Amino acid sequence: MPNFERQESSGVIVVDKPPGITSAKVVARVKKWLKARKAGHTGTLDPFATGVLVVCINRATKLSRFFLHGKKKYEAVLHLGVETDTQDSTGTVTNVSHNVEFSKKTIHSAFKRFEGNIKQLPPVYSALKHKGVPLYKLARSKKPVQKPARQVTIITLKILEIHSPFIRFEVLCSAGTYIRTLCADIGASLGCGGHLEELRRIESSGFSITDAVTLEELEDLALSEKSSDRIISMSNALKDMPEYIADNVLVNKINHGHIITKDDVMSEQINAFEGFIKIVDTNKTLVAVLKHAKEKNRVDYCCVFNM
Is 85 a known active-site residue? no
Q: Using an 8 Å Cβ cutoff, are 81 and 194 in contact?
A: yes
Q: Using an 8 Å Cβ cutoff, are 97 and 188 in contact?
A: no
Rounded CA-CA distance 28/41 in Å is 10
Choosing from 16, 46, 185, 211, the catalytic residue is 46
Rounded CA-CA distance 173/116 in Å is 9
Rounded CA-CA distance 191/182 in Å is 14
Q: Is 123 exposed, middle or buried (0-12, 13-18, 19+ CB in 10 A)?
A: buried
Rounded CA-CA distance 19/191 in Å is 30
- Beta-bridge mates of residue 152: 118
Rounded CA-CA distance 184/178 in Å is 10
Rounded CA-CA distance 217/7 in Å is 24
For residue 278, give the amino acid letter: K
Q: Using an 8 Å Cβ cutoff, are 306 and 279 in contact?
A: no
Active site residues: 46
